[in-house]
Amino acid sequence: MITNLKSILRAFFSFCQPFVAFLILFLFFLSCQNENSNNDKIEALPISLTFDRFDLKFYNQPPEVIPQLKKEYPFLFPKQFSDSVWINRQNDSLQLLLQEAVTKVFSEIQPLEKKVSRLFKHIKYYFPKTKIPQIITLTNNVDYQIKTVYSDSLLLLSLDTFLGEDHPLYEGIPNYIRKELDPKYIPSQIVEKFSTYIMPPPENRTFLAQMLYEGKKMYLQDLLLPDEKEAIKIAYAEAELEWVKENEVYIWQYFIEKQVLYQTDPEWVERFLEPAPFSKFYLQLDNESPGRIGRWIGWQIVRKYREQQPETTIEDLIKLPAQQLFNQSKYKPKR
């Protein structure tokens, strides 16, 4: 009887196997069709951006241009400063050196405009109410803490903070900061500022909430820059990315053992979320680790949540309380 049952089951599965294979292929084809459909819709959006080169309008120009520029760009000229301040800036040797470097690096701006246009097609597709901002390029004393400024209808882009990590003008800047001063990071930097604009910081001060806030911003990189390399999105070298992938389970184990998740001490944010040359476990492996490891872990938790809850809209996801997101993600890295 058992032998007959085995024979029947074997025959049944042998009969069904071609249909199962066909079903898998069909579902894969359907998934690809949906993805292609989304891509077609995104590419069809009528968005084409050009950069308003304020830097070229201001530098290497006669002082007579200043009154007109103040009318066109009043937000760039604080009223408490007289025209003499701006004339001096036009003639300042350091400013002219910076502008010369900007002009060389960004002599061909069209490829970058094309990338940013494609980015805003994705933004408009996923966030239809978003206004397409005016993009104004500046030279701003290599202020790498304010590389970009995003508001409702305006995007300021300091090109002198994207000259390339090995540029001689960046001598003296720490390496972990210099590596992000490169044109390849401009789209991801814009997404970072856009994410911060649409998603206010969490009121919950726990490390978990802060980590998942950063993770949501990283997930928006996935959504809005689907063709970008993972290492570029998080500003890691390939070796650093490989390190966090290989050590994910140990990083998570450290957080659990130290009972970090519900701590509210800002020290944990400083050690694992803020820019740094390395993350501070206070162990021998510190020098091997990249900075902002908590951001990477938060990213993986949000990705895991999306696997578990694919029906959640992006609008609902960015509003989702940290604890609910964490619980429903069922995140548990394995060795």
Summarised one tens digit per residue, pLDDT across range 209-221 is 999 999 999 999 9
For residue 20, what pLDDT is reported?
Answer: 41
Instruction: Report residue 153: phi and psi, to 5°.
Output: -135, 20
Q: How confident is the model at residue 15 (pLDDT cuts 50, 70, 90)?
A: low
Q: Which of 118, 91, 103 is nearest to 159 (CA)?
A: 103
Paired tokens of 154: 């305006």
For residue 37, what pLDDT is reported?
Answer: 63
Q: How many CB atoms lie within 10 A of CB 36?
A: 10
For residue 21, what pLDDT is reported?
Answer: 42
Cα–Cα distance, 87 to 13 (Å, whole number)? 83
Is residue 10 classed as helix, strand or coil in its secondary structure?
helix
Residue 28 has pLDDT above 60, yes or no: no
Output the CA–CA distances (angstroms, integers) from residue 118 to 36, 45, 124, 223, 324, in the order listed. 16, 9, 10, 12, 33
Give domain limits for the chain. 54-198, 207-329
| pTM (two decimals) | 0.87
- Name every residue whose Cβ is closer than 8 Å to that of residue 132 and which is 6 or more positions away in sequence: 47, 49, 120, 124
